[in-house]
Amino acid sequence: MNCRTASLLRIAFVVAALWTHAVAGKTPPNLLVIMTDDQGYWELGSTGNPHIETPHLDALAQSGVRFARYYAAPVCSPTRAGMMTGRYAFRTGIYNTRFGGDSLSLQEVTVAELLKKAGYRTGLFGKWHLGRYHGYQPQQRGFDEFLGHYQGHIERYEYADQLVHNGRPVRTRGYVTELFTDAAIDFIDETRRHTPESPFFCYLAYNAPHSPFQMDTSHAHQPEGDAMIEKYLKKGLPLPQARIYAMVERVDHNIGRLLAHLESTGLARDTVVFFMSDNGGVSKHWTGELRGFKAQVYEGGVRSPLFVRWPGQFPVGGVVKGQASHVDLLPTLCELAGAPVPDDRVIDGRSLVPLLRAGTGDRHHAYVYHSWNRMLPTPDANWGISDQRFKLVGAGGGTRAKGAEANWGLFDLENDPGEKKNLAPTQPERVKALRTEFLRWYGDVTRGIDYEPVPIPVGHADENPVELQPSWAKTKGDGVKYVFEAYDWDTIEGWSKPGEAAEWKIAVARGGRYEVSLDYGCAGANAGGRLTIGVGHAHVEFTPVPTGTSNVFTHAVAGVLTLSPGPATLRAEVAAASAGEAIRLNRLWLRRLD
């Protein structure tokens, strides 16, 4: 099929989808999904917090339907994968938030792709965290427009320097929460002016209030940020908690600005607004009655707010008590848009539209499942399962050890939402039934999937050079180790003995000559070592020169390798060491020359 034919078919599909809505007497609504990062269920006035000020989100909660028991995953990438695909993250290849375990399988179909086929213009502004390399980026997974970051967090909230626009690094000015809101507003206005026949799907994924907990830090704007923090210090909050609350209030202000823009442009009545967080909270000043925090499977780690507003369509002040899940977003958005849900795979989510139209409902999912372990999935640590009333939790370390069942907790969420009274000793049959169902689910969602980093794509014209990050490598040797401080400042350290090495799996799209370069630090006292970098028998040698100290990084070209197309392993190895750490490796780069 040539490009012209493919383009005509897509246009025909879009026209057909819009015609179907017209025949039915309906216009597909705009869809706005707002997600915050690490905001706890308790960090809202509408959920009972007496300290925080979130007037715009509180008004949103009251102007539509809110869910009393809406569950995200314990951490961010799994929630985002579930929202994007309607499937629990383990089915999609997601198993980590770093180390290459946060790349959404290319076999998955995203909600952005489905809505785009149905005639929507699609945009993502903020945090993606489902893949950073070629083929995995948002603009390659269904989004017409992307401004944000690939990784789990960024280091600077003002003048952010880790953002990309449609795959290209950019420099930015201003506070990042305002920046993402501005980008969303611009996207909405551009859609309205240039393609008014197309509804929009806008996914605004704030990176706040994730750490580092920063307000404005620049010479120009620091007083403004300090004033908001000071307000919460005067309320008695410790400094870290005051920073988090100030970040949440800043998000609330910007959501108010965005919703006001929808009103002023006449789009509010035609736009369905969703608000949620990506996992449980990290602040500890006030947690209501919930137990646990982000990364845990207790309610405080997995309960998220969910507010949904569609003026004139969904009841004002509605409350749904039935337990719902982040995997419900895809079928919900598809039903609202009139887009078909994929029928060639298991979709774990169920549309929330009937509950939203009714504004009430005591039942939705029979069970919701919770699991998170950083390095590899396991059914025997940090797991949970809830039905509409009871929840079984296996927290902490592995639970297959002898007697580990004594540490399981069974809780009656109806009468004990804080998960304080363990009923497991008195209800063994219920414990057995819930554990059996959890194991059935776990076996189903992990069957046939290998959980390991995907090979790093190398040699694509629109991503050249390619950055090989330390977190994607496997280290070899007793002294060499991976050290994480931040996504772009992590390192492989301790290269002090010949043979110590790190290896990256790569997938060479196009064979040819590739320049090998690296970002590294080297202390003068340790100078004199050598590194070999290569694939198979082809390698180059590199002799580091001192950079001032090990944590001062410089960029240097090591040489040129000839690579064949296909899968390969690139290995960096100590060939000789003088004294101490020969090199502190921050990055490797491969740049195709021909």
Whose CA is closest to 381, among 361, 401, 395, 367? 395
Residue ranges making up the domain that contains 414: 370-446
Question: Does one domain contain both 417 and 283?
Answer: no
pLDDT for 3 beyond 60: no
Q: Work out the pLDDT band at 188, boundaries 50, 70, 90.
A: very high
Residue range 552-586, pLDDT digits in tens: 999 999 999 999 999 999 999 999 988 889 999 99
Q: How confident is the model at residue 588 (pLDDT cuts 50, 70, 90)?
A: very high
- Which residue type does 342 have? P
Q: Is residue 530 part of a domain?
A: yes
| Residue 16 confidence class, pLDDT cut points 50, 70, 90 | very low
What average pLDDT does range 376-385 have in this prediction?
95
CA-nearest of 345, 341, 342, 325 to 448 is 345
Among 446, 467, 495, the domain boundary falls at 446
The mean pLDDT of 337-356, rounded to a whole number, is 98
Residues 379 and 355 in one domain: no
Say what the pLDDT of residue 256 is.
98
Mean pLDDT value of segment 367-373? 97
* Residue 261: predicted pLDDT: 98
Which pLDDT score, from 0 to 100, does residue 161 have?
A: 95
Residue 451 domain flag: no
- Sign of the alpha-carbon torsion through 330, 334, 335, 340: negative
- Whether pLDDT at 278 is above 70: yes
Q: Output the pLDDT for position 24.
A: 43
Same domain? For 406 and 331 the reply is: no
Helix/strand/coil percentages in the chain, nearest 5:
30, 25, 45
What mean pLDDT do residues 174-200 have? Answer: 97
Classify strands 324-325 and 318-320 as parallel, antiparallel or unpaired.
unpaired
> Across the chain, which distance is largest between two alpha carbons, in Å?
77
CA 10 to chain centre: 29
pLDDT of 342 above 80: yes
- CA 530 from chain centre, in angstroms, equals 38
- Examine the fold and report which residue of 410, 428, 446 is the final residue of a domain before the chain moves on: 446
- Digit-coded pLDDT (tens) for 30-62: 999 999 999 999 999 999 999 999 999 999 999
On whether residue 407 sits in a domain, the answer given is: yes
Mean pLDDT, range 302-314, rounded to an integer: 98
**Residue 579 has what pLDDT?**
81
Query: What is the per-residue pLDDT across 208-248, written as a single tens digit (0 to 9) for each?
Result: 999 999 999 999 999 999 999 999 999 999 999 999 999 99
CA–CA dist 137, 89 (Å, integer)? 17
Are 289 and 397 contained in the same domain? no
For position 580, what pLDDT does the model report?
87
User: Do residues 73 and 165 both lie within one domain?
Assistant: yes
Q: Are residues 464 and 557 in the same domain?
A: yes
Q: What is the rounded average pLDDT of the residues 309-332?
A: 98
Checking if the pLDDT of 10 tops 50, the result is no
CA distance 190 to 121: 10
Same domain (yes/no): 112, 247: yes
Mean pLDDT of 401-428: 89
Residue 478 placed within a domain: yes
Q: Please tell me whether residue 147 adopts helix, strand or coil conformation.
A: strand
pLDDT of residue 25: 45
Q: Does pLDDT of 7 surpass 50? A: no
CA-angle at 138, arms to 260 and 370, nearest 5°: 85
pTM to 2 decimal places: 0.94
How many structural domains is the chain composed of? 3
Q: Do 218 and 77 belong to one domain? A: yes
The rounded mean pLDDT for the chain is 93
pLDDT, mean of residues 360-364: 98
pLDDT at 401 over 80: no
**Phi, psi angles (nearest 5°) of residue 23:** -60, -40
DSSP secondary structure, 157-183, as one string:
SBS--SEEETTEEE---SBHHHHHHHH
Instruction: Count other C-beta atoms under 10 Å from residue 41's C-beta.
Output: 25
Q: What is the pLDDT of residue 398?
A: 53
> Is 3 labeled as catalytic in the residue annotation?
no
The answer on 237 and 286 residing in a single domain is: yes
Catalytic annotation, pick one of 56, 76, 149, 522: 76
Token couple for 246: 């100030």
Whether 427 and 495 map to the same domain: the answer is no
Catalytic hit among 129, 153, 364, 539:
129
- Clarify whether residues 215 and 343 are in a common domain: yes
- Assess whether 205 and 81 both reside in one domain: yes
DSSP codes joined into one string, 112-135: HHHHHHTT-EEEEEEE--S--STT
Domain edge (last residue) among 421, 446, 471: 446
405 band by pLDDT with thresholds 50, 70 and 90: confident
* Residue 11 pLDDT exceeds 80: no
Domain of 547, CATH number, reads: 2.60.120.260
- Other CB atoms within 10 A of residue 567 CB: 10
Name, in order, each residue with C-beta under 8 angstroms of 484's C-beta and a sequence gap of 6 or more: 98, 471, 490
pLDDT of residue 14: 45
CATH of the domain at 106: 3.40.720.10
Q: Is 510 exposed, middle or buried (0-12, 13-18, 19+ CB in 10 A)?
A: middle
Mean per-residue pLDDT, 308-319: 98
**Under a CB-based contact definition with an 8 Å cutoff, are residues 503 and 574 in contact?**
no
Q: Pick the closest to residue 446 from 91, 106, 101 (CA basis).
A: 91
Q: What is the CA radius of gyration of the chain?
A: 25
Q: What pLDDT, on the 0 to 100 scale, is given for residue 50?
A: 97
CATH number, domain of 374, equals 3.30.1120.10
**Per-residue pLDDT at 150:** 97
The confidence score (pLDDT) of residue 19 equals 42
What tens digit of pLDDT does each residue of 136-164 get? 999 999 999 999 999 999 999 999 999 99
> What stretch of H or E contains 332?
helix 329-337
Report pLDDT for 1.
45
Mean pLDDT of 2-18: 45
At 400 the pLDDT is 55
Q: Which band of pLDDT confidence, cut at 50, 70 and 90, is reported for residue 476?
A: very high
Model confidence at 86: pLDDT above 70: yes
Burial of 100 (0-12, 13-18, 19+ CB in 10 A): buried
Residue 406: pLDDT band with limits 50, 70, 90: confident
Nearest of 496, 492, 480, 557 to residue 530 by alpha carbon: 496
In a domain, 197, yes or no: yes
> Is position 76 annotated as part of the catalytic site?
yes
pLDDT at 85 over 80: yes
Q: How far apart are the first and last CA of the chain?
A: 28
What's the pLDDT at 397?
57
